[in-house]
């Protein structure tokens, strides 16, 4: 029988183990420690599994474990809910890679009309790889006016949010705190990679970013995970200046994601967003 190697699981467990200090777990740190963090036998004891079995997981000699064991290890390593979900995804058997993947690169006419009708909200439809499949005028004006408005409709020109954040200087300059934004992008990409381990387009995206951006490569190696579904971003826009927007994500019936940004009502940021809309309208009608 062919031996399956799961290097994702082994390297992730090692990263998570090494980030925890023994004092955090009420353990003595006396004696020499060759590596930072907990020892393998300490994690095994905290998780209630044998040291031999845990070592086999971390050395990629065992391809996967039961959800119960993985949950015990997650508790021992004090993983967040997103980190635990990622561990479960990479630590259990993967679906048959030969099964046809669902098409997530199409937008229904109803969804397209919805995005267009959101005049005062920055809105776009993304797939899980963060390819932009559709955007409204305000999203285009905020994020990428230097690109053609119809770019999302062409698979060869379709913008990708994460790729633009690392490789497009104009988009990169838009974020007041690019370091935080870049880390958020990579932790999300790592999170969704656990569910789509046989997607060649996702692997191609990760490979291209790793080759073209040292910053991405460094962040990717940290193996931090987070499902970024809501929060606040601060922009430094060349037309309207400082702009703080709240964002949320909503899953659509077709498997895609509706991403929308909005300002706090009656705030200076809402006024700035309105200015961007006015500037947009002047461009359309000027």
Q: How many whole angstroms separate alpha carbon 236 and alpha carbon 243? A: 6
60 and 115 share a domain? Answer: no
Long-range CB contacts for residues 1-9, cutoff 8 Å, separation at least 24: 3/63, 4/63, 5/60, 5/63, 6/60, 6/62, 6/63, 6/64, 6/90, 6/91, 7/60, 8/90, 8/194, 8/197, 9/57, 9/60, 9/63, 9/64, 9/87, 9/90, 9/91
- The predicted-structure confidence for 139-173, as pLDDT tens digits, reads as follows 999 999 999 999 999 988 899 999 999 999 999 99
140 and 77 share a domain? Answer: no
The residue assigned the tokens 């656990």 is 194
51 and 169 share a domain? Answer: no
Q: Which of 58, 91, 124 is the last residue of a domain?
A: 91
Q: State the total domains in the chain.
A: 2
- The predicted-structure confidence for 232-241, as pLDDT tens digits, reads as follows 999 999 989 9
Give me the domain span that covers residue 19: 7-91
19 and 126 share a domain? Answer: no
Q: The CATH number of the domain where 210 resides is what?
A: 3.30.450.180
116 and 199 share a domain? Answer: yes
pTM, rounded to two decimals: 0.75
68 and 149 share a domain? Answer: no
Q: Where are the alpha helices (DSSP H) in 98-177?
A: 109-117, 137-143, 161-167, 169-172
86 and 126 share a domain? Answer: no
Residue 2 lies in a domain: no
What pLDDT does 254 receive?
79
210 and 82 share a domain? Answer: no
Residue 234 lies in a domain: yes
113 and 72 share a domain? Answer: no
- The predicted-structure confidence for 182-220, as pLDDT tens digits, reads as follows 999 999 999 988 888 788 999 999 999 999 999 999 999
The residue assigned the tokens 């679906």 is 95
More confident call, 254 vs 257? 257
127 and 70 share a domain? Answer: no
67 and 135 share a domain? Answer: no
């Amino acid at each position: 029988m062919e031996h399956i190697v799961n290097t994702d699981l082994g390297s992730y467990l090692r990263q998570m183990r090494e980030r925890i200090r023994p004092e955090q777990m009420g353990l003595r740190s006396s004696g020499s420690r060759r590596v930072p963090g907990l020892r393998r036998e300490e994690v095994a004891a905290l998780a209630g599994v044998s040291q031999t079995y845990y070592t086999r997981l971390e050395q990629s000699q065992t391809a996967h474990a039961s959800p119960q064991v993985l949950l015990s290890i997650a508790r021992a390593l004090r993983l967040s809910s997103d980190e635990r979900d990622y561990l479960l995804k990479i630590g259990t058997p993967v679906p048959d890679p030969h099964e046809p993947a669902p098409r997530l690169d199409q937008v229904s006419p109803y969804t397209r009309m919805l995005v267009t009708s959101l005049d005062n909200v920055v809105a776009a439809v993304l797939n899980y790889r963060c390819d932009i499949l559709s955007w409204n005028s305000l999203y285009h004006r905020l994020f990428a006016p230097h690109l053609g408005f119809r770019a999302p409709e062409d698979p060869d020109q379709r913008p990708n949010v994460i790729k633009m954040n690392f490789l497009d200087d104009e988009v990169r300059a838009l974020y007041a705190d690019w370091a935080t934004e870049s880390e958020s992008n990579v932790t999300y990409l790592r999170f969704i990679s656990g569910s789509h381990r046989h997607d060649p387009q996702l692997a191609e995206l990760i490979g291209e970013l790793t080759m073209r951006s040292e910053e991405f490569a460094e962040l990717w190696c940290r193996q931090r995970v987070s499902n970024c579904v809501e929060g606040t971003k601060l922009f430094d826009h060349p037309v309207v200046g400082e702009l703080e927007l709240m964002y949320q994500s909503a899953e659509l019936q077709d498997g895609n994601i509706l991403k929308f940004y909005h300002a706090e009502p009656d705030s200076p940021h809402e006024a700035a967003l309105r200015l961007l809309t006015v500037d947009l309208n002047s461009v359309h009608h000027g």
